[in-house]
Structure 1
């Protein structure tokens, strides 16, 4: 589930055809929701890379580059990419089952960790780097333009690019017809369940060694980027139309050039670009690229990409959000239970786009300390646990979800609370405060 290619096919040298506003809207409507029976799923796991023994020390760019060069020689089934700040991402191929998806990614992660360990490096599953300020590792025209664009709204963009990590769950869009697995219901479920997932899996309470006052600082940073870039459309009964309008009315991040720096226009929407045709006429390839520069919490790319979950602690922590989310979307009984559980949350989100509404804000700030979110999370985890055996999940996966529910959800806690407890313990009078006292 990698980014779409914008390279010309077959070595064609003919100039690309300009795209009209009507053509652009039709293309978006046609590609954003590919409907049919939910059969495939995938996961994208991002990780911070840190020193194996002293994670609070920054890793030099030279060591990162050497480690990544070694990783490129390792055969993996998942796509391995490097994020702007040096974070690693593994994107699974579409899998036919939860068990297949977990097995593929787990094997690839084992191989990646073995290579990093040889250079005394390790992966950290945490939603926002708790130690270091943003520092860009990749120097490419795409990221130069992204940084210039996002800097206009403040420092949150650089934090998102360079210090954040997530677990992104990818699911089929669902049936064309109505019902628990219909694409309209799944679109609504994703946006109302999203804050519950933020709260239940919040794991980023710090930045630059200090608590931020938010259990998901990563989600806060996304909201700070702005609704045009990181928001979604207001929910209505026509997801295709709503998303197409959102895409065309979203600001263009950059106009790519064959050579030199890419242009970063100010306030130019894609709709306006199709009308003005300046600084050059937009093409189908420009529309494809524009879609990759929008970062809503739920992104339709033929399938649904749920982007709101913080990276999780432990080698296998990513499995729990993957399993829970898959169960709540792909098992008809669990999907119906989840939809009924989250439906009352709509009042707190009414009239606002995700994640720029009180529901998402409360989830990122308070996590499951919010009583309503805690109640819904308990219902959803219980439904997921009942559904996992029906989806063929192993006992180990079901046991991991059950343990997570008991440790966190039932107690109104999230992994961020563990980090904060550890930090408060490290700062008790008479106790040393070395970096090793605080580890994600």
Structure 2
């Protein structure tokens, strides 16, 4: 039995959602145990887990048929092909942290909300791991993030950072497009309205008055880079290579949010980057200039690399102060040295390999990969 829920995503990705943990060490141990069990089961079926932010070889193909995904596909198709690729061909490491305290300061909820969004492009760049699509380089270090930029902002964008976080998030949710109106028994097909915001649905009551359950479900159909769920869910990090590649982004992110000194250092490092997205009140998130630069160039972008170097150093110091396992601290230090300090990311390894050999040589010869 697993400690955490395991779900199948539309394109065959496996998503392991760890339970809340009291410490980084507890979280790492629990996930490692679950992954070992998952790998054992997959191995018996001649399958293996692969860590990529986006499938490097295959076009998007749905393997899961449910009313939710039928409605999501119909809704996203109106905006172009990016939606199906997001559903079926992308995978990530999603790190969840506490929303923060009411009082101001490095661990206050308003500062943490801003830090999550300002740190986002640095995490995109540092952990970019999806430069290939259907066997060819795309020109992006994080094609996964580029796919997100191809989805309508109401579905995948972020609210403005100016203003009280709960108020701006509420406005964003109410103004976001409704993906579907579910039937009474949850059976499909579901109605997929066009250009209907939740605010408009409340006011019109058509095709039926919305309920609290409809609002709760509406929240699950929004895919911002930072999702507010009573905690903060950071969704911008590409899935990582290797059996334990997920540990480094987890450790770095948790250290920068849970240690007051590291949080303040990180905030000061990333705050100037916001100027690249325009004056206060400008849109942020995957469609904005800074996030697009992070996805395209990774840490080869000089300003993003400088911020990443500072953030990784702060995270390393915080992990030492909090007594994190030596293996975790060593993994973060090695990643910082081999990638961040050199302006590289895992995507560069894939591009180097693609240049050395025909892309088909990169493909698992079994043709049976499972990722996420």
TM-score, normalization: structure 1?
Answer: 0.81
Indicate conservation of the 8 Å contact 1:227/1:353, yes or no: no
Matches within 5 A, 1:248-267: 248-257=174-183, 258=185, 259-267=187-195
Aligned to 1:424: 355
Indicate conservation of the 8 Å contact 2:146/2:286, yes or no: no
Q: Does 2:295 align with 1:364?
A: yes
Aligned to 1:122: 48
Q: Does 2:44 align with 1:113?
A: no
Indicate conservation of the 8 Å contact 1:349/1:358, yes or no: yes
Following superposition, the deviation at residue 253 of structure 1 comes to 0.2
CA distance in 1, matches of 2:213, 2:364: 48
CA distance in 1, matches of 2:124, 2:159: 19
Following superposition, the deviation at residue 237 of structure 1 comes to 3.1
SS in structure 2 at match of 1:84 = coil
2:70 to 144, 160, 179: 144
TM-score, normalization: structure 2?
Answer: 0.95
CA distance in 1, matches of 2:163, 2:20: 28
Following superposition, the deviation at residue 236 of structure 1 comes to 1.4
CA distance in 2, matches of 1:364, 1:262: 34
SS in structure 2 at match of 1:403 = helix
Aligned to 1:131: 57
Aligned to 1:42: none
Q: Which runs of 5+ in 2 are unaligned?
A: none
Aligned to 1:306: 234
Aligned to 1:228: 154
CA distance in 2, matches of 1:310, 1:434: 19
CA distance in 2, matches of 1:204, 1:178: 37
CA distance in 2, matches of 1:338, 1:434: 36
CA distance in 1, matches of 2:62, 2:210: 29
Aligned to 2:138: 212
Aligned to 1:183: 109
Aligned to 2:338: 407
CA distance in 2, matches of 1:138, 1:433: 29
Structure 1, residues 294-348: CA drift from partner, whole Å, max 9, x if none? 0000000000000000000000000000000000010000000000000110101
Aligned to 2:267: 339
CA distance in 2, matches of 1:353, 1:336: 21
For residues 436 and 84 of structure 1, do their structure 2 counterparts lie closer, same or farther at Cα, with a shift above 3 Å needed?
closer
CA distance in 2, matches of 1:425, 1:147: 37
Structure 1, residues 91-119: CA drift from partner, whole Å, max 9, x if none? 11000000000000000000000111111
SS in structure 2 at match of 1:89 = strand
1:96 to 10, 15, 22: 22
Indicate conservation of the 8 Å contact 2:126/2:345, yes or no: yes
Larger displacement relative to structure 2 (258-267 or 119-128): 258-267
Indicate conservation of the 8 Å contact 2:354/2:362, yes or no: no
CA distance in 1, matches of 2:35, 2:264: 34
CA distance in 2, matches of 1:427, 1:131: 12
Following superposition, the deviation at residue 436 of structure 1 comes to 5.5
Aligned to 1:237: 163
CA distance in 1, matches of 2:327, 2:34: 19
Aligned to 2:213: 285
Aligned to 1:395: 326
SS in structure 1 at match of 2:96 = strand
CA distance in 2, matches of 1:168, 1:373: 20
CA distance in 2, matches of 1:126, 1:326: 22
Aligned to 1:29: none
Aligned to 1:269: 197
Aligned to 2:93: 167
Indicate conservation of the 8 Å contact 1:98/1:391, yes or no: no
Q: Does 2:309 align with 1:378?
A: yes
CA RMSD of aligned residues (A): 1.6
Aligned to 1:352: 283
Indicate conservation of the 8 Å contact 1:99/1:392, yes or no: no
Following superposition, the deviation at residue 377 of structure 1 comes to 0.3
For residues 209 and 272 of structure 1, do their structure 2 counterparts lie closer, same or farther at Cα, with a shift above 3 Å needed?
same
CA distance in 2, matches of 1:319, 1:433: 28
CA distance in 2, matches of 1:270, 1:434: 45
SS in structure 1 at match of 2:235 = strand
For residues 310 and 348 of structure 1, do their structure 2 counterparts lie closer, same or farther at Cα, with a shift above 3 Å needed?
same
Question: Which structure has the greater CA radius of gyration?
Answer: 1
CA distance in 2, matches of 1:116, 1:421: 29
